[in-house]
């Protein structure tokens, strides 16, 4: 499947937000306010149009969760079927992706690393190996990583991260986590204005 393989900091600079794509953000923080491209901030003129603002917000979510345009649109279509606010439901569906849950549990330093762990068969759902990063984890299901992976230096570093704040919709014990409920809107980080994405797809 097609994936962006270019510089990750370029994506973060394009939306002027740290998207959590890299573990070391020292270099990014120095240039976060400078748009990518040959001319940097000189290449932008005037007030951005509504379309540009909506597009930028959509791209921010796409790059944050590491998904393709077609995938994000499918989440939007699915979210419209729910009586809840479309934007909130769309973000909930993204948060309940298996790769994102692995990342939120602190088993991987980035979502890209979590997706790789899933794809390589290192992740267990209800005790059984599952290698589909987009799998929608359900309430009361357990999610864990293979004990062999606990010796991985990247995993060790992630597990020892004292800054990690476990979301309240998750429980965790050793190498196993559990989804106790769906995430609420205020528990989804990232400074996302989901209404702009809904407006983009509603055009």
Query: Is 189:183 a contact under the CB 8 Å cutoff?
Result: no
Q: Are residues 22 and 42 in the same domain?
A: yes
* 111 and 91 share one domain: no
Whether residue 76 is found in the same domain as residue 133: no
Are residues 105 and 37 located together in one domain of the fold?
A: no
Based on the domain organization, do 87 and 114 belong to the same domain?
no
**Residue 117, domain CATH:** 3.10.290.10
Count how many residues are written for the chain.
Answer: 203
| Residue for token pair 């983009």 | 200
Range of the domain at 68: 50-96+190-203
N-term to C-term CA, the chain: 28
Cα separation, 70 vs 194, in Å, equals 17
**Domains held by the chain: number:** 3
Predicted pLDDT of residue 189: 81
Amino acid 162: pLDDT:
72
Which pTM value belongs to this model? 0.81
- Domain with 77 in it: what CATH number? 1.10.1050.10
Structure tokens at 167: 């979301």
Whether the predicted pLDDT of 74 surpasses 90: yes
Task: State whether 114 and 175 are in the same domain.
Answer: yes
Q: What is the pLDDT of residue 153?
A: 84
Q: Which residues, 6+ apart, have CB-to-CB distance to 37 below 8 Å?
A: 43
What is the mean predicted confidence (pLDDT) over 14-24? 57
């Amino acid at each position: 499947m097609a994936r962006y393989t270019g510089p990750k900091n370029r994506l973060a600079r394009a939306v002027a937000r740290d998207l959590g794509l890299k573990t070391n953000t020292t270099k990014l923080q120095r240039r976060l306010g400078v748009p990518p491209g040959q001319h940097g901030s000189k290449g932008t003129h005037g007030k951005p149009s509504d379309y540009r603002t909506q597009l930028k917000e959509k791209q921010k979510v796409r790059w944050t969760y590491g998904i393709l345009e077609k995938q994000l649109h499918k989440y939007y279509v699915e979210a419209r079927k729910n009586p809840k606010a479309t934007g909130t439901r769309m973000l909930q569906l993204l948060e309940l992706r298996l790769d994102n849950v692995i990342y939120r549990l602190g088993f991987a330093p980035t979502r890209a690393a979590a997706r790789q762990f899933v794809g390589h068969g290192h992740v267990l759902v209800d005790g059984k190996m599952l290698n589909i990063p987009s799998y929608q984890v359900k309430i009361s299901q357990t999610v864990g990583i293979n004990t062999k992976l606990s010796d991985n230096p990247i995993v060790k570093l992630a597990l020892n991260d004292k800054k990690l704040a476990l979301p309240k919709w998750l429980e965790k014990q050793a190498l196993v986590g559990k989804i106790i409920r769906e995430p609420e809107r205020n528990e989804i980080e990232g400074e996302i204005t989901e209404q702009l994405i809904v407006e983009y797809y509603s055009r």
